[in-house]
Structure 1
Amino acid sequence: MRRKPNVIVFFTDQQRWDTAGLHGNPLQLTPNLDHWAHEGTHLYNTFTCQPVCGPARSCLQTGLYATTTGCYKNSIPLPAGSRTIADEFNEHGYETGYIGKWHLASTRTEPVPEPLRGGYKYWLAADSLEHTSDAYDTVLYDNDNRRVKLPGYRVDALTDAAVRYIDNHKEQPFFLFLSYLEPHHQNRRDDYPAPRAQEQRYASSWTPPDLAALGGTAQRHLPGYYAMVKRLDDALGRLMDSLISLGLAEDTIVLFTSDHGCHFKTRNGEYKRSCHESSIRIPGAIWGPGFNGGGRVNELVSLIDLPPTLLDAAGIEVPETMQGRSVLPLVRKTAVNWPQDVFVQISESQVGRAIRTRRWKYAVSAPQLDGIKEAASSAYTEEFLYDLQADPWELNNLIGKKSHREVKQILRTKLIERMVEAGEAAPVIHPAEETDAGQLLVLETEYYE
């Protein structure tokens, strides 16, 4: 009888989708990810549902939107009694382990108390890894809240710990959540510390068009950022090598994704918390039983769809309370009525909401409210509209153009529907002031793209 599949989440922090060769990056940063995504399933259009660390993690751990759990901003602990994906795996005979950054306990530099660990049995983690560690000073806490300092560059240190966990649990099915900090910046210095001797490897290298146009801190930070991404990919290769050597590769589902992207201070005063592709689009790939040979899935997939996907793939019934849906029907080509858009909640920098279709990006905000103090609003104002076919790098905001009035009306209605589906009250959305559109024209056939 075939054993239950092992499940591993390889989770990075603040990684843009276009760092991957799968998305055309020419720097060969991700040969391992590219290979395994081709072997399995590449979720080509994957998006976060909340572009900031803690809220995104709450969504991935619970399968619920951040406004549903209450974790709409950083520093809000996952509420006691929250049902997590680890709880589901625990109940179905799995060993569960968490290694790395948690960011759902609000303890920063202190150990995470056992009740706030999301139900994981094995624990080697820190709530805010960027505050307990540095690139060559990896400090975590174990099940007994003892301080553990691991040797090596931080990516390698966590990978070593993961390989040890896999080896120690190879006899029974396990669910391992491996949560890196990289390629997130080191907060106290506001830099992206590359592995030694790699700092200049990517200096003056390829720059994504949005960053080339808008600047921000890209020229200062991209070399270190890219070197971090390359080391993460090396770590993925090591992880897969360990599974192959232990005879577990054919029995293990591996999900690769991130919590949000990085716009390098081009869209606001920091790195995420905006509606733009650079902030919300993330890499997504999954391989192993049920996903091998799945090819490239082009439908739009949200971070909130990944918890039900992992449960479904492991043969565990998906709780009705989860607000996403499994992507397995997409892989099997049996999906019916898959959503044609993804919904994004934005906090901290603003109280904002956005919807992204294949062609259009539409976003609103409540400028009168503080995004730190308020989770939602009863009224919003239109802020952004992008035609992603004509302007994939979102350099031309069309929100005030008369030519796009009908498109905005359709997207406004859909956004309100998505907010209600997520458990929010239906808001009022005030249209943006319109200006002349010049030669711009939208054909009626393009409204719903």
Structure 2
Amino acid sequence: MATENKECRLDRRDFLRKSGIAAAALTASSEIPAQQPPRRRPNIILYLSDQFRWDFVGANGANSSTRTPNLDAMARRGTNFTHAITNQPVCAPSRSVLFTSRYATETGVWQNGPGMRQDLPTLAGELRKAGYTANLIGKWHLAPGNPQQGGPGAVAPAWRGGFDDLWEGANALEHTSHPYEGTLYDRDGKEITYKDRYRVDFLTDRAEQFLRQKHDKPFFLFVSQLEPHQQNDLNRMVGPKGSAERFINAHVPPDLRAFPGDWHQQLPDYYGACESIDASVGRLHNVLKETGQDEDTIFIFFSDHGCHFMTRNTEYKRSTHNSSIRVPMLIDGPGFNGAQQISQLVGIIDLAPTLLKAAGVPVPSSWKGHSFLPLLQDGNARTAWPDQQLVQISESMTARALRTQDWTYCVADISGAKNAASPQYMEWQMYDQRNDPHELVNLAGRKESREKAKELKALLIEHMKYAGESAEIKDATLYH
């Protein structure tokens, strides 16, 4: 198993200070008095809905057909991060970034299949060291993918990333279940089966059961739903029965309308699955209120990546576009209530350190993300925030991207190789987020964009160095 290279590892604060990328934001963070641990640390529920687009949350105001009253209520009472970014838009790599606050090329999970490095501190492990229980219900996807080491089903304890208490999951839930029947595995590897119950509702039943138990310690609960992700062996999304008919003429997002894809077939079921996720979130909030735990529980709703419905490549994500990398992120509970809307760019890599800070738990020095709590507490921090995120792309191609508030700048290995990284990239895509938010016009290689591209290239190279990468980036030679 790979070990930490201390000589080569850049200190995150030193890197950000030298590069100028986020020094001001970290300075603002350091000026805020350290949060004192509460008498009892807050419970934490991390609710992941796989492949849920940011614009399918009604509170984000970009979709006239979506029905998410419970998520909208979260946004009204809590904090809505309207420009949250996944640092790797595919299931397993994104989850590895989430739990380790390291980039996917550092976690061992640069694509679906490999197991996550076991020597890295994880969110679950750090919370357990601080006195939490760490519990999982649903999809994991961070154990090795071959049958000899667990495959899609049961996960050996060594590969559970610190979730050493309740375990009711499957490594790849899409391969052990279907929307109305399937199998999970408990901590001893015994089967938990369901039938004639929609998968979202079944997993919510299990989460409700957990929340109604007596808890002597603060708990960390990871609820990992598969929906609205497609059912792999059916090659389509599957909403609850009858939902597709109700959404047959629903709103089509503008970034999809301009391109061929399968959105016209899949959107109705996708809408239905998103509606079921919203109802699930509402059920869990109701249980928290009924059991008196709502004021002591931080609840996070987010996704690992979005969905472009085969408009940008031959499947549903793995691209640098907003439809892939922009995700919903809503947080309510202690420290997050106040009906705030945060428009600064935050990454999935920043979520784990934020939650540890909110719980009064020390953040490992090896983590690359940084807490975005200052954005809630200090108006000056919002002005100083860097608004830059590195995105790594794998499987569809080997690519790297820098996302800022105003630009997306992407470089790719044009050889067609699909590796963890490349020694050489070429400018591939460049989108003006101010004037082209639906990313219809690629500006890479245009003479009028050359100076901006040069600036973005330099920033991307610095971010790649911070992630432990070194590569040459060639200028685009074609006029798009």
Distance 2:458 2:299 in 1: 37
SS class of match (2:153): coil
SS class of match (2:204): helix
Give aligned pairs, total: 433
Amino acid at match of 1:332: Q
2:90 maps to which of 52, 63, 82 = 52
Distance 1:77 1:89 in 2: 21
Residue 334 (structure 2) pairs with residue 289 (structure 1): yes
- Aligned twin of 1:200: 245
2:194 maps to which of 125, 140, 150 = 150
Amino acid at match of 2:476: A
- Aligned twin of 2:415: 368
SS class of match (1:200): helix
Residue 392 (structure 2) pairs with residue 345 (structure 1): yes
- Aligned twin of 1:180: 225
| Cα distance, 1:200 vs structure 2 | 0.8
- Aligned twin of 2:169: 125
SS class of match (1:271): coil
Deviations 1:284-310 (A, max 9, x none): 111110111050111100010001111
1:62 maps to which of 100, 105, 119 = 100
Is the 1:78–1:116 contact (alpha carbons within 8 Å) kept by the matching residues of 2? yes
- Aligned twin of 2:22: none
- Aligned twin of 1:447: none
Amino acid at match of 1:358: Q
Amino acid at match of 2:475: P
- Aligned twin of 1:431: 475
Is the 1:108–1:132 contact (alpha carbons within 8 Å) kept by the matching residues of 2? no
Residue 47 (structure 2) pairs with residue 10 (structure 1): yes
Unaligned runs of 5+ in 2: 1-37
Deviations 1:313-359 (A, max 9, x none): 11101111111111111111263842221110000111100011111
Distance 1:108 1:23 in 2: 37
SS class of match (1:165): helix
1:306-345 superposed matches below 5 A: 306-333=351-378, 335=381, 337-345=384-392
1:24-43 superposed matches below 5 A: 24=61, 25-43=63-81
- Aligned twin of 1:161: 206
Distance 1:26 1:171 in 2: 44
Amino acid at match of 1:82: L
Q: CA RMSD in A?
A: 1.4
SS class of match (1:386): strand
Distance 1:272 1:199 in 2: 22
| Cα distance, 1:110 vs structure 2 | 3.1
Residue 149 (structure 2) pairs with residue 110 (structure 1): no
Is the 1:217–1:264 contact (alpha carbons within 8 Å) kept by the matching residues of 2? yes
| Cα distance, 1:414 vs structure 2 | 0.4
2:401 maps to which of 341, 354, 357 = 354
Distance 1:282 1:28 in 2: 15
SS class of match (1:97): strand
Distance 1:433 1:394 in 2: 20
- Aligned twin of 1:418: 463
1:233-244 superposed matches below 5 A: 233-244=278-289
- Aligned twin of 1:191: 236
SS class of match (1:370): coil
| Cα distance, 1:169 vs structure 2 | 4.2
- Name the % identity: 46
1:376-391 superposed matches below 5 A: 376-391=421-436
Is the 1:294–1:331 contact (alpha carbons within 8 Å) kept by the matching residues of 2? no
Is the 2:347–2:389 contact (alpha carbons within 8 Å) kept by the matching residues of 1? yes
SS class of match (1:61): helix
Is the 1:109–1:126 contact (alpha carbons within 8 Å) kept by the matching residues of 2? yes
Distance 1:209 1:311 in 2: 37
| Cα distance, 1:132 vs structure 2 | 0.0
Unaligned runs of 5+ in 1: 437-449
Distance 1:363 1:403 in 2: 17
Is the 1:402–1:434 contact (alpha carbons within 8 Å) kept by the matching residues of 2? no
- Aligned twin of 1:258: 303
- Aligned twin of 2:185: 141
Distance 2:231 2:440 in 1: 28
SS class of match (2:243): coil
| Cα distance, 1:377 vs structure 2 | 1.0
Aligned structure 1 segments of 4 or more residues deviating by more than 6 angstroms: none
1:401 maps to which of 446, 463, 478 = 446
| Cα distance, 1:74 vs structure 2 | 0.3
| Cα distance, 1:434 vs structure 2 | 5.1
Worse overlay, 150-159 or 12-21: 150-159
Distance 2:403 2:479 in 1: 23
Amino acid at match of 1:429: I
Distance 1:66 1:383 in 2: 21
Distance 2:106 2:46 in 1: 23
Distance 1:422 1:48 in 2: 15
Amino acid at match of 1:364: V
Deviations 1:167-202 (A, max 9, x none): 124443100010000000000111111111222111
Distance 1:194 1:272 in 2: 19
